[in-house]
Chain A
Amino acid sequence: MAQPLVKKDDDRDDEAEYSPFLGIEKGAVLQEARVFNDPQLDPRRCSQVITKLLYLLNQGDSFTKVEATEVFFSVTKLFQSKDLGLRRMVYLIIKELSPSADEVIIVTSSLMKDMNSKTDMYRANAIRVLCRITDGTLLTQIERYLKQAIVDKNPVVASAALVSGIHLLQTNPEIVKRWSNEVQEAVQSRAALVQFHALALLQQIRQNDRLAVSKLVTSLTRGTVRSPLAQCLLIRYTSQVIRESNTQTGDRPFYDFLESCLRHKAEMVIFEAARAITELSGVTSRELTPAITVLQLFLSSSKPVLRFAAVRTLNKVAMTHPMAVTNCNIDMESLISDQNRSIATLAITTLLKTGNESSVDRLMKQITNFMSDIADEFKIVVVEAIRSLCLKFPLKYRSLMNFLSNILREEGGFEYKKAIVDSIVILIRDIPEAKESGLLHLCEFIEDCEFTYLSTQILHFLGIEGPMTTDPSKYIRYIYNRVHLENATVRAAAVSTLAKFGAMVDALKPRIFVLLRRCIFDSDDEVRDRATLYLNTLGGDGEVVETDKDVKIFLFGDLDIPLVNLETSLKNYEPSEESFDIDSVPKEVKSQPLVEKKAPGKKPAGLGAPPAGPPSTVDAYERLLSSIPEFSNFGKLFKSSSPVELTEAETEYAVNVVKHIFDRHVVFQYNCINTIPEQLLENVSVIVDASEAEDFAEVTSKPVRSLPYDTPGQTFVAFEKPDGITAVGKFSNMLRFIVKEVDPSTGEAEEDGVEDEYQLEDLEVVAADYMMKVGVSNFRNAWESMGEDFERVDEYGLGPRESLAEAVSAVINLLGMQPCEGTEAVAANSRSHTCLLSGVFLGNVRVLVRLQFGIEGSRDVAMKLAVRSEDEAVGDAIHEIVSCS
């Protein structure tokens, strides 16, 4: 290596370590690259310089465009040399420099010469380089050579051409598609890799032609495929064909082929086939068995790769077919102690999914030893698996709860601790026997908990569950300790929890008062305020005690107002004689704020369409409507829909409509914008044809007097509808106005105008319009407090659906209710789902809905709908909505 490169002042302390590239510097190497221009080339030295250039690029150095162009030009000179090794390096560096189109021209002739050389190595590499750097125009010139190369007797040349073809297919598909005859021939090649590359290219050429792929698979599954890689490809194509062919009952096409691949001599093929079988949609246990058997053999392999691949696949199978995997449990258990932690974690989570009741204790013991030496991310996976196991075997709650509390005491990050706490909370909720021990574990945890968030969550939970236990007094100590030892946030939460105990347990009340009085002297004002407030409401000061029921609603009731709305209202509130009225806060959950403008020309998707203008709040609507005398006697506004577009984007007039629902009236507010600078519109109104909405009768309309360019204006049409009935219907709309020409230079309008009309799209009033999205924070509590009195349950078949998630979201949209506790999200691959909805129906009636979905093999979705509401009629109305659609 050239000495000048070694910088003498290099202060890195790797003197002991010799490297030929020590102290290498880009500037110096670029200087060195001048040897490429020497009239007498020294191939060895040139190769070394190229290696240095490649080293620099590989280390992440980049060349400026000037440098790169300069290097490229001098490299092209090296084609003069006949040295094979040097030529090879030249090919490499050209690919790395990735010359621009103009530069490519300079090497094209040299590369084309090499493509026709007698040396196979030249031909193969020249093809790869040329195809890498070429653009479409050059491709037509060399197409003839490439087609020949594909069927060349030298496998290296053929592979080079085929692989280049795979890449070129993305940029120049029409050219590559002309090669299918040659590629077809190459599929029959005796060289293993050529067959693989040809198969890959042929499938990609034909990928949009189902029939052709199916034919290809049929012929190849009967013939001989030489390379394991090609066989893997064939298995993938076969699965694709199986997926696309509509599986009727009876034998699945090509299953026999997949099964025969399980006996292939190459492990990669066996595994590919086993995996393909497990991923067949609607796979039966009979079909699964042979695949599971080979995977089980892999589990005890000496190679980590095989064990990993097998356990990962079995883990996936366990989600849908836990019974099929139970045979492997013994092998899986020995993997818990696998040195490779990825394998061990996969084995544990699989076992937790497939294990039976009797193996739980043994499993827990093994996992305890294992937990200490895996990373948090793995631990969370294990905790989640244990949670679902416990729900599956409630009788085993004791050992599982113990396990959770043990790991809760050990070191761990926030996410991990949160996963454990969440699991314990869920177990307490769902397994009554686990409640007392679970609560005590949580109490012990908050004695030494570094996460404020978790402490407050647990305190809140204690406040709800603790008073209902047999001996509530034992929790008081833990809670009151927080008041002494923690930060203000936790102290405030502890005060609230104490108050809840006081409210629910009369025997504890005097003691709670003592504790609360001590909190009045806290250093933090929130803590003091809370203590004072609770002392007052609970009657600790000996003052007038509010009724028991009020106190409980105050302490435990849901604030059924979205916090965002409350925040806005409080901000708008100006201190005055009148105190803040919490009932004035709108209860409607605001729709997602408009993030991006719709793509032009796209039709809005019904109700969910984003508003064109700035999103108006319910508040603003109410103010606007009450300012219009015609609507003043309609009563309190129940709900306003989000705007629905009635025109395509970028038309002459942009109109959207907001539906305002009152008890006995519906008001359509048409927001109009005139987008033509040369026009002034006057007397603008919307003529509504309600012939397809029988229950509605138009009472009044309010036109816009004048609508200048780009200034929004509103026109209203009001309808009367029968009280308490969820009238639905379809309305067709016509915009009517007088148009006057405007002189753009002066902005003055002409005297005379012409009457004109403009057809708008139809508008529908649907059942969901009578439902307000109002969430509850704790659905179970709300559900239970609502009681069974007006519960209505029925089952419905929803017919074949695209997916479970699609069915769930369709029903949510239909009802227009607020999904609670994240139940609108459906886990992938799940066969059943429960969704909780909450809302307020016209007439301010609270409604809760519990939907249980199940999907059958043929994608038929069945749904059980349970409604609880404060009004019997509303429950029926909900069922009516579902059954009518």
Chain B
Amino acid sequence: MESEALTVSFDLLVNKRSVEVINFAEIWFSYVWNDSCPVVKNILLLDSEGKRVAVKYYSDDWTTNNAKLAFEKSLFAKTLKSNARTEAEITMFDNNIVLYKFVQDLHFYVTGGEDENELILAAVLQGFFDSVSLLLRGNVDKREALENLDLIFLCLDEIIERGMILETDANVIAGKVAVNSMDPTAPLSEQTIGQALATAREHLTRTLFQ
């Protein structure tokens, strides 16, 4: 009896769910923001060909996947030639401000509205970039990123919540993500968390000052 009731309710749910709802929660409608709060429109991590490693959109400026892909493609083409390896670079693009930084075969981007404080966006980019460096223990390349994609997703989740900045301090972000991988076989926990972070920080400082 009980299982039958469950099937019924399941079918009911299936019918009620509308397709558009999927992935909808990500889209945070920017118009509800009053203009006083800093808002991040998207964070992108692309590879050296402009393909997605991990992306997260928080604005309804891009509603379809195709619109997002088109944005990524033209942004990638526009920024490809610039030297964003030592310092984060910045550009205006489609009435947005985009901050970006490259390392190895990874391209990091943070987009905000044209009236946004550039330095706040820069802090978000720095937080993202450094925490990824910490979590990948200094081996910041596409292969390492894909192998630890769960950490990258968690990292994004700890930086921005629907456009609102949650945290920009790389140590705090990486700490929160690392705490969660308590599984004995998970990459970071071969050492203790403290050790892992120490090694990572060491790696980071080395990469930053080389």
Contacts and interface: CB of A to CB of B under 8 A. Distances in A.
Contacts of A100: 13, 16-18, 21
Contacts of A880: none
A814 interface: no
Interface in B137-168: 143, 146-147, 149-150, 153-154, 157, 161-162, 164-168
Contacts of B209: none
Interface of A: 17-21, 43-44, 47-48, 50-51, 54-55, 57-60, 62-66, 68-69, 73, 83-89, 92, 95-98, 100, 102-103, 121, 128, 132-133, 156, 159, 163-164, 166-167, 170, 193, 196-197, 200, 203-204, 207, 228-229, 232-233, 236-237, 240, 267-268, 271-272, 275, 302-306, 308-309, 312, 339-340, 342
A85 B181 contact: yes
B91 A121 contact: no
A103 B146 CA distance: 31
Contact of B150 (A51, A166, A196, A339): A51
Contacts of A103: 13, 17
A21 to B, nearest CB: 6
A58 B146 CA distance: 12
B157 A92 contact: yes
Contacts of A275: 117
A237 B35 CA distance: 10
Given A92-B157, A305-B122, A340-B89, A102 B183 contact: no
Contacts of B176: 121, 156
Contacts of A86: 183
Contacts of B36: 203, 233, 236-237, 240
Contacts of B34: 204, 207
A85 B92 contact: no
B46 to A, nearest CB: 12
B91 A83 contact: no
Nearest to B105: A17
Interface stretch (B22-30, B128-136, B195-203): B22-30
Contact of A83 (B55, B162, B182): B182
B13 A102 contact: yes
Contact of A128 (B52, B154, B161): B161
B73 interface: no
Contact of B89 (A50, A51, A240, A304): A304
Interface in B48-65: 52, 54-55, 65
Contacts, number: 190
Contact of A98 (B22, B87, B168): B22
B123 interface: yes
B166 A102 contact: no
Name, among A60, A66, A170, A228, the residue most crowded by chain B CB atoms within 10 Å (CB to CB): A60
Interface of B: 9-10, 12-14, 16-19, 21-26, 28, 32, 34, 36-38, 52, 54-55, 65, 68-69, 82-83, 87-92, 99, 117-120, 122-123, 143, 146-147, 149-150, 153-154, 157, 161-162, 164-168, 176, 179-183, 185-186
Given A44-B186, A200-B37, A18 B23 contact: no
Contacts of A303: 87-88, 122
Contacts of A47: 150, 183
Nearest to B69: A60
Contact of B90 (A193, A232, A340): A340
Given A47-B150, A340-B89, A97 B157 contact: no
Contacts of A121: 176, 179-180
Given A85-B182, A268-B122, 16 more contacts: A48-B150, A51-B150, A62-B23, A65-B19, A95-B157, A100-B17, A100-B18, A132-B162, A167-B162, A204-B37, A229-B168, A275-B117, A303-B87, A304-B89, A308-B118, A309-B119
B10 A69 contact: yes
A19 B143 contact: yes
Contacts of A305: 87-90, 99, 118-119, 122
Nearest to A306: B119
Contacts of A85: 180-183, 186
9 contacts: A55-B149, A84-B179, A88-B180, A237-B36, A268-B117, A268-B123, A302-B87, A304-B90, A340-B89
A196 B12 CA distance: 43
Given A51-B153, A204-B34, A65 B117 contact: no
Please name the 10 residue pairs, one residue from A and one from B, whose CB atoms are nearest each other, closest first. Answer: A268-B119, A98-B25, A60-B65, A309-B118, A88-B180, A65-B17, A84-B182, A51-B150, A170-B32, A236-B36
A96 B182 contact: no
Contacts of B22: 62-63, 65, 68, 97-98
Contact of B91 (A19, A43, A228, A340): A340
B19 to A, nearest CB: 5
Contacts of A233: 36-38
A90 B183 CA distance: 15
B146 A19 contact: yes
B186 to A, nearest CB: 6
B120 to A, nearest CB: 5
A211 B119 CA distance: 30
A166 B164 contact: yes
A339 B146 contact: no
Given A65-B22, A207-B34, A236-B36, A271 B118 contact: yes
A65 B153 contact: no
B112 to A, nearest CB: 12
B17 A68 contact: yes
A69 B13 contact: yes
Nearest to A95: B25
B113 to A, nearest CB: 13
Given A85-B181, A85-B186, A340-B89, A232 B32 contact: no
Nearest to B164: A163
Contacts of A271: 117-119
B160 to A, nearest CB: 10
B16 to A, nearest CB: 6
A85 B168 CA distance: 22
Contact of B164 (A68, A200, A237): A200
Contacts of A237: 36
B41 to A, nearest CB: 16
Nearest to A339: B83
B37 to A, nearest CB: 5
Contacts of B91: 340, 342
Nearest to A61: B65
B77 to A, nearest CB: 12
A682 B28 CA distance: 60
Contacts of B65: 60, 62
A47 B36 CA distance: 38
Given A51-B153, A63-B22, A128-B161, A102 B12 contact: yes
A59 B52 contact: yes
B69 to A, nearest CB: 7
A50 B92 CA distance: 36
Nearest to B32: A170
